[in-house]
Structure 1
Amino acid sequence: MTVEDAAPAYLLQPAFMADPEPLYARLHNAVPVTRARLRPGLSPWLVSGYEEARKVLSDPLFSVAPASTSRSVRDAIATGPAEEKTALLGRHLLSVDPPDHTRMRRLMSRALTARRMQALQEPIEDFADALLDQLAYREEFDLLSDYALPLAVEVICELIGIPAEDRPRFRACGVLVVRSELDDDASFEQATDEMIGCFTSLIASRRAKAEDDLVSALVAAHEDERLDEYELISLIYQLFFAGHESSAYLITNATLRLLRHDEERAVLRQNPGLIEPLVEEVLRVDGPVKVPTWRFPVQDVELGGVQLRAGEPVLVLLGAASHDPRRFPDPGRFDVHRVFQQHLAFGHGIHHCLGAAVARTEGRIGVTRLFRRFPELHLAVPPEDLRWRNNLMMRGVCELPVRSGTQR
């Protein structure tokens, strides 16, 4: 079986999510760019090399705009699961190129101030502690749905400015989004419609009375940046969608890593100050995002010794790029002391994740508070029994059953 044959079979299988390194090694032993047949009419180029990935993610020769590809490719993407076609939904930072992207990112950067993001640290700590207080009475719980996901939703709601009374609806929507499987577009669309309705009402409310939140900042800049109503709603929706799911899986993947590797957990217990490099190594080795949004060459281009034609779909396999032995010596080894990281878990170039600082803070606080409260936390099921999401874009478990160890 060739790499081209193996890649799509693994990309869409839970076995790949549970243990991606064999495919990474196979790709790195072959070529950094290869075809991956996902379904009829859709055979994107799969990029696994580090330098090749950086080029695709940052070079203006590669567009994120769906209009840059053929109608047949857009139709093939549209027939896939909801999370694959987010680039086709709305006009936001992940679906437009400059100059529209420059305009939108300038606006979002102005709203996502360092002060606003730094001010989230105390609320994140409070949210984590409140959730852990509730879990203290339970011997067993699902770390994803009972802790990581509600924490991530609370944080993104706090950042956006969603009122406390509306947050239960967003928590429910967040669960629907994360729980949506490949054949469950209805749940995804239900969550999307409900969130858009909430955002529309919130925008109207902030127009009437501004608050010190991100939506108010976006509404205030609405006229100056020539942002239309559709773009405004798309920006807020994309921030919620991208922000809560990846952060929840960062916390979950980091926790699972520590639960499965006692030596790494012991290192963190002896030196809690290593939580920051540990989160970075989790992002490199077990990052929550498998591939970012689609890319399309705007002209014929050579990449990794392969000729790509204009408009052909391209996917960057972020985990493989961050396991490239040409960049990371002994890439499969988890090492919190790696000096030169520069992984690609948050992307690269003009589409680098604007919320990376918030996600890192959530990961650091979420994991630290969890193990401080439950030092004897352990898996409630054998690792091989964990169910992994059958999802092209995200890497994570469907649930993570754990026991607190407080009542053993």
Structure 2
Amino acid sequence: MPRQLPVDELVSDPYPIYAALRAEGPAAAVEVRPGYQVWMVTRYVEARQALANPALGNDPGNGRWMADVVGDAVNAAMNKHLLRADPPDHTRLRRLVSKAFSGTRVAALAPWISKLADELLDRIEPGEKVDLLDSFALPLPLQVICELLGIPAGDRHLFRDWSDVIISGAHQRDRYKDMAEALVAYVQRLTAVKRADPQDDLLSDLISVRDDDDQLSDQELTAMVVLLLFAGHETTMNLLGTGLFLLLTHPEQWAALRADRSLVPAAVEEMLRYEAPLRTAFPRYAREGVQIGDVTIPVGAVVMIALQSANHDERRYVSNDDFDLARTSATHLAFGHGIHFCVGAPLARLEGRIAFNALLDRYESISLAVPPEDLRWRFSTLIRGLESLPVIGTEAVSRQRQ
């Protein structure tokens, strides 16, 4: 009989649940919501192996409830992307997208991202109580991915509401249909504009990219834009917001960063390990019986790979539940592993390094404006992120002299 996981606890504090599951074995049959049984992989070694196991493919029933709500056409336009594809389709899609999502394009954004970070912080008065999630952690990655894709500046505010509802998924079914239809219609209209008048942006590149006369279909193109928009700002927003929360609740680590900026890249990796923005990888489907350690997962089972649990596995990490910027291992699974490793990982890391350096430049100290226990985590079984982050910052002396 599968264990029913307490969803509220899984959202607010999942780590004791994960620790108990890891103690029992590398994988366990659980219900993540009533009637939805999955096998959850919780240990690091087995999670890494499962992420690269071709016998664990795209779940053919995954997202079926979405199709029931919005219809097959809109559902396909939302989901026919890399994370829901298997080889050879995945190989083809990734090859086409990678040509447009190049390291050169990402690196060229660094000066603009730094300027944007400073401009966002300029709007905050010293000593002012402010929600740094809304004023900094959200608009920075949202502006970056919209700039990269070529989303007009006047339209970018639309994506916050769309994202909140769509990430919540089945928990906001009553609003999902309207938001999904509006998002797909918007992307399709913008694609038509870019097709007629290409610009120097990623969406124009995705429209035109070809490989041996192969190109993205209309549904694949729309789905890839939707994926890049959400993955491009949701995960990085939560990296920035949750990462800062960790620094504020571990002031000795903030002091260590101020004393040694060379720790910033390692700090970003430890934030990703300690509070991975994605709780789990996208669900997989066992095409055949799969061995996970000493556990046999039956054919046809849905498999969820708990990235957060793997990143806290005591078998992999010394002092696994300590937030430690001196940790040198960057082999966490926050970006996944194998063929589905996040194509946007270099951009997220770049934004993280720039954002935390900008905060260190700006503030001598930052403190939470409310007790930590008053903060709430977003109700999502996929995303790990705070609803808000109210803080008060003391401006650095070097800034005050300007």
Let me know the Cα RMSD of the aligned residues. 2.6
Q: Which runs of 5+ in 1 are unaligned?
A: 81-85
Equivalent in the alignment of 1:362: 351
CA contact (8 A) 2:165 2:172 kept: no
1:400 equivalent in alignment to 2:397: no
CA contact (8 A) 2:76 2:219 kept: no
CA contact (8 A) 1:206 1:216 kept: yes
Secondary structure, aligned partner of 2:291: strand
Give the partner amino acid of 2:39.
Answer: W
1:20 deviation in Å? 3.3
Equivalent in the alignment of 1:157: 146
The 1-side partners of 2:250 and 2:172 are apart by 34
Equivalent in the alignment of 2:115: 126
1:95 equivalent in alignment to 2:96: no
Give the partner amino acid of 2:184.
Answer: I
Equivalent in the alignment of 1:48: 42
- Within-5 A mapping of 1:233-312: 233-312=222-301
The 2-side partners of 1:40 and 1:25 are apart by 22
1:38 equivalent in alignment to 2:35: no
Q: 1:132 to 1:185 in 2, by over 3 A?
A: farther
1:158 deviation in Å? 1.1
The 1-side partners of 2:337 and 2:36 are apart by 25
From 41, 59, 62, give the equivalent of 2:56.
62
CA contact (8 A) 1:24 1:48 kept: yes
1:253 deviation in Å? 0.8
Give the partner amino acid of 1:57.
Answer: L
Give the partner amino acid of 1:166.
Answer: D
Give the partner amino acid of 2:194.
Answer: R
Give the partner amino acid of 2:173.
Answer: D
From 5, 17, 20, give the equivalent of 1:8.
5
The 1-side partners of 2:176 and 2:144 are apart by 21
From 214, 217, 227, give the equivalent of 2:202.
214
Q: Which runs of 5+ in 2 are unaligned?
A: 70-74, 396-402
Secondary structure, aligned partner of 1:35: strand
TM-score (normalizing by structure 2): 0.89
Bigger drift between 202-211 and 286-295 goes to: 202-211
Equivalent in the alignment of 1:184: 172
Q: 1:281 to 1:125 in 2, by over 3 A?
A: same
Secondary structure, aligned partner of 2:193: helix
Number of residue pairs the alignment of both structures matches: 390
The 2-side partners of 1:87 and 1:286 are apart by 31
Equivalent in the alignment of 2:182: 194
User: Percent same amino acid among aligned pairs?
Assistant: 39
From 17, 21, 26, give the equivalent of 1:23.
17
Cα displacement string for residues 127-179 of structure 1 (whole angstroms, at most 9, x for unaligned residues): 2111111122671111212211111110110111112233233355446556x
Cα displacement string for residues 314-373 of structure 1 (whole angstroms, at most 9, x for unaligned residues): 111101111112222221122223333310000000000000010111111122212321
Q: 1:217 to 1:293 in 2, by over 3 A?
A: same
Cα displacement string for residues 15-66 of structure 1 (whole angstroms, at most 9, x for unaligned residues): 44444332232222221100111234311001101121112211111002x3
Secondary structure, aligned partner of 2:123: helix
CA contact (8 A) 2:28 2:39 kept: yes
CA contact (8 A) 1:41 1:76 kept: no
- The structure richer in strand per residue is 2
Q: 1:199 to 1:89 in 2, by over 3 A?
A: closer
From 124, 132, 135, give the equivalent of 1:143.
132
Cα displacement string for residues 258-304 of structure 1 (whole angstroms, at most 9, x for unaligned residues): 00011111100100121100000111111111012110111112212
1:79 deviation in Å? 8.4
